């Protein structure tokens, strides 16, 4: 912003230099040198220093030929500096924009969606979706296409991006089955049959209409600007159209739609039309603000010094010439005043730091290059100094400081705390507890969560976790103990689940209702340990023995199991269940004559039987340094 000011002052300097050349005057530096001499010598050289153009006397002074020959160097240096600043800034912006576009394309290309093709769940790119695909949708998904819900588990969708309504809309096979692209799945899971993709989807139609509206608005704006430029709209015509004092005005007023809002005011000076201009000025960064302030201060100081220099030179010359030497005024002396003015302009120009914009641009570009080595992409140069002023950086932990690869490393089962999970633990845990635990984990997790074995048998290669990482940790625990969650899911497909209470921030737990083979229902629950433990009335002890959970036992488990896990940086989850049977019920079961009201969640998810408590670890990235 201050670069044009520098150029103006420099140009002013050269203009004054040309004026000086026209008067055949010597360099301003010689004037300063001449004024330093004794007063008597000034008068002796005064007639030899300058002469007006067209005068009869020939100038005895000679300009410095070497200085005039090298005068182009300064202008060329300034020109090269400006070119370097422009090229460095443009190249940096182009490079960063290209990197960000490549990163954005990579992100869009990596955005995949789970579909069922040939009976297998596949992860395909969103752009490869076609009409007729069956997609698995879950909490957190952004729907990429329109579709029909063919299976749902407490599915709720946020359609505010299309309708503006913030309330979540419940979707199901029999009630409001239409799912629209651009909406977010806020709760539950299900399956969707794709009915429209791309520009034929609801979001695509809206974007197409918006694009057409923008084009039409631009056309109208251009036509309006052209009409104003041609003078087709005048104030008199507007007055007639608004007041209708004449026949032409009345017909025009009838033809033109009246604005919906009219603002009345008694102030005659108030504007009759609201200003449509919106300020789009970009706020200055901290460094830009400081540099602007510095440039203004330098300008004030330079101006003050330049004015004082001119005044001192004029006063000293006048005293020396007209007071001490008592010479009469002559137009010849005006040449000296021109020289003094040029000296003042020179002082002002010298005070301006011409290399400051180049130095700042080069330093920021160097900072960007160093940040790129740390895999930090910077789109704008001023972002470097913005981050340089940061005193604290708040970062997300999961997936940023950690690997986002959850692993169950501790388990509390049948009254025993296992610090290290091994396959041999399955022989210690009773069959009843093991089967209940495996079924609870396999069925009370999103069916989109899976643990895929490594593609190759290379040493150190880990299985791939797909879906919710916390659920993948529990599924990995089942595999570590020799179980197979795939087999359990094949015996109990997702369509056979009777009711699903999906995880949300209010519940902090997830529950699934299944039918028992001998009749009745079983509710599996998993969630935050402190939440689930409060709802437990029983616990499975040694060899699957059922025990009553007292208040003292709950406090002991929290003190000796949950709190130590939390102190080790582990995420704790509890797994529990409850049975509803139509026949004679045991102590931890509920007898019913008619099917329970599954909408009464409070009375359904209570008096649970605790099966296990897990400590799940999210390993820290190797490059993350400890505090």
Between strands 450-452 and 464-466, the pairing is: antiparallel
Whether residues 142 and 75 fall in one domain? no
Q: Which of 267, 374, 396, 424 is catalytic?
A: 396
Give domain status of residue 469, yes or no.
Answer: yes
SS3 615: strand
Q: List CB contacts of 544: < 8 A, sequence separation 6 or more.
A: 414, 430, 431, 432, 433
Q: What is the pLDDT of residue 286?
A: 72
Whether residues 529 and 410 fall in one domain? yes
Whether residues 568 and 483 fall in one domain? yes
Give domain status of residue 384, yes or no.
Answer: no
Predicted TM-score (pTM) of this structure? 0.58
Whether residues 568 and 426 fall in one domain? yes
Q: What is the pLDDT of residue 614?
A: 95
Give domain status of residue 18, yes or no.
Answer: yes
Question: CATH number for the domain including 567?
Answer: 3.40.1110.10
Q: What is the pLDDT of residue 419?
A: 83
Q: What is the pLDDT of residue 386?
A: 73
Domain end, chosen from 295, 323, 357, is at 357
Q: What is the pLDDT of residue 28?
A: 42
Residue recorded with tokens 């752009």 = 127
Give domain status of residue 572, yes or no.
Answer: yes
Residue recorded with tokens 């007063």 = 39
What tokens does 550 get?
Answer: 């007292």
Q: What is the pLDDT of residue 350?
A: 78
Q: List CB contacts of 235: < 8 A, sequence separation 6 or more.
A: none
Whether residues 496 and 588 fall in one domain? yes
SS3 208: helix
Q: What is the pLDDT of residue 372?
A: 73
Name the DSSP letter for residue 142: B
Domain end, chosen from 175, 196, 217, is at 196
Question: CATH number for the domain including 139?
Answer: 2.70.150.10
Give domain status of residue 466, yes or no.
Answer: yes
Q: At what angle do helices 286-318 and 28-35 cross, to 10 degrees?
A: 50
Q: List CB contacts of 270: < 8 A, sequence separation 6 or more.
A: none
Domain count, the chain: 3
What's the CA gap between 120 and 165, in Å, rounded? 36
Whether residues 168 and 83 fall in one domain? no
Query: Which portions of the chain are predicted below pLDDT 70?
Result: 1-71, 103-104, 106-110, 212-216, 229-285, 354-355, 357-358, 379, 381, 424-426, 457, 460, 627
Give domain status of residue 290, yes or no.
Answer: yes
Q: What would the DSSP string read from start to end of 35-80?
A: HTS-HHHHHHHHHHH---TT-SSPP-----HHHHHTHHHHHHHHHH
Whether residues 83 and 134 fall in one domain? no
Whether residues 442 and 581 fall in one domain? yes
The alpha carbon dihedral of 196, 202, 206, 207 has a sign of: negative
Q: What is the pLDDT of residue 514?
A: 94
The domain containing residue 66 runs over which residues? 3-89+283-357
Whether residues 410 and 526 fall in one domain? yes
Between strands 589-591 and 571-581, the pairing is: parallel
The alpha carbon dihedral of 208, 213, 219, 221 has a sign of: negative
Give domain status of residue 213, yes or no.
Answer: no
Whether residues 577 and 514 fall in one domain? yes
Beta strands in 543-593 (DSSP E): 546-548, 571-581, 589-591
Whether residues 75 and 152 fall in one domain? no
396 is catalytic: yes
Vertex 450 angle, CA 444 and 456, to 5°: 155
Instruction: Find, among 508, 556, 542, the residue nearest to 528 by Cα.
Output: 508
Domain end, chosen from 303, 327, 357, is at 357
What's the CA gap between 617 and 99, in Å, rounded? 34
SS3 451: strand
Whether residues 473 and 575 fall in one domain? yes
């Amino acid at each position: 912003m201050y670069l044009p000011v520098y150029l103006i002052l420099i140009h002013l300097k050269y203009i004054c230099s040309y004026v000086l050349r026209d008067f055949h005057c010597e360099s301003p530096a010689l004037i300063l040198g001449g004024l330093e001499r004794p007063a008597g010598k000034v008068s002796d050289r005064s007639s030899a220093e300058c002469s007006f153009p067209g005068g009869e006397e020939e100038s005895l002074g000679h300009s410095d030929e070497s200085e005039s020959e090298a005068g182009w160097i300064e202008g060329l240096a300034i020109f090269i500096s400006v070119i370097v600043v422009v090229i460095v800034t443009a190249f940096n912006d182009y490079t960063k924009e290209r990197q960000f576009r490549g990163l954005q394309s990579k992100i869009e290309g990596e955005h995949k969606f789970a579909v069922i093709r040939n009976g297998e769940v596949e992860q395909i790119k969103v752009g490869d979706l076609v009409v007729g695909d069956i997609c698995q949708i879950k909490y957190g998904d952004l729907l990429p296409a329109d579709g029909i819900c063919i299976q749902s588990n407490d599915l709720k969708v946020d359609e505010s991006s299309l309708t503006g309504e913030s309330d979540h809309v419940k979707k199901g096979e029999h009630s409001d089955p239409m799912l629209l692209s651009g909406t977010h799945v806020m709760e539950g899971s299900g399956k969707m049959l794709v009915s429209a993709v791309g520009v034929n989807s609801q979001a695509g139609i809206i974007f197409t209409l918006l694009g057409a509206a923008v084009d039409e608005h631009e056309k109208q704006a251009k036509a309006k600007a052209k009409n104003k430029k041609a003078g087709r709209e005048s104030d008199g015509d507007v007055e007639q159209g608004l007041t209708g004092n004449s026949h032409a005005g009345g017909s025009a007023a009838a033809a033109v739609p009246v604005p919906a809002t009219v603002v009345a005011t008694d102030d005659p000076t108030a504007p009759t039309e609201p200003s449509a201009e919106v300020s789009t000025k970009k706020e200055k960064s901290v460094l830009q603000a400081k540099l602007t302030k510095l440039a203004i201060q330098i300008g004030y100081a330079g101006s003050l010094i330049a004015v004082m220099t001119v005044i001192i030179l004029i006063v000293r010359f006048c005293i020396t010439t007209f007071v001490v030497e008592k010479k009469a005024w002559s137009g010849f002396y005006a040449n000296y005043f021109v020289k003094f003015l040029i000296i003042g302009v020179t002082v002002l120009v010298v005070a301006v730091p011409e290399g400051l914009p180049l130095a700042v641009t080069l330093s920021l570009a160097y900072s960007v290059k160093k940040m790129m080595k740390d895999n930090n992409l910077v789109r704008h140069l001023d972002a470097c100094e913005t981050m340089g002023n940061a005193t604290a950086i708040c970062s997300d932990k999961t997936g940023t400081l950690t690997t986002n690869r959850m692993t169950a490393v501790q388990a509390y089962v049948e009254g025993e705390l296992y610090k290290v999970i091994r396959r041999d633990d399955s022989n210690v845990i009773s069959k009843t507890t093991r089967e209940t635990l495996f079924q609870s984990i396999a069925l009370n997790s999103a069916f989109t969560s899976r643990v895929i074995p490594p593609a190759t048998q290379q040493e150190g290669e880990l299985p791939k976790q797909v879906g919710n990482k916390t659920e993948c940790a529990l599924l990995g625990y089942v595999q570590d103990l020799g179980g197979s969650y795939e087999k359990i899911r094949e015996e109990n497909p997702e369509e056979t689940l009777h009711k699903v209470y999906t995880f949300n921030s209010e519940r902090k737990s997830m529950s699934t209702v299944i039918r028992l083979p001998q009749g009745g229902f079983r509710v599996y629950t998993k969630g935050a340990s402190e939440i689930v433990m409060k709802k437990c009335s029983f616990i499975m002890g040694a060899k699957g023995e059922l025990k009553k959970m007292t208040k003292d036992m709950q406090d002991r488990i929290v003190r000796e199991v949950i709190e130590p896990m939390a102190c080790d940086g582990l995420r704790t989850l509890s797994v529990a269940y409850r049975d509803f049977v139509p026949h004679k019920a045991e102590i931890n079961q509920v007898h019913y004559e008619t099917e329970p009201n599954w909408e009464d969640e409070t009375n359904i998810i209570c008096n649970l039987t605790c099966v296990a408590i897990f400590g799940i670890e999210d390993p820290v990235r190797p490059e993350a340094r400890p505090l």
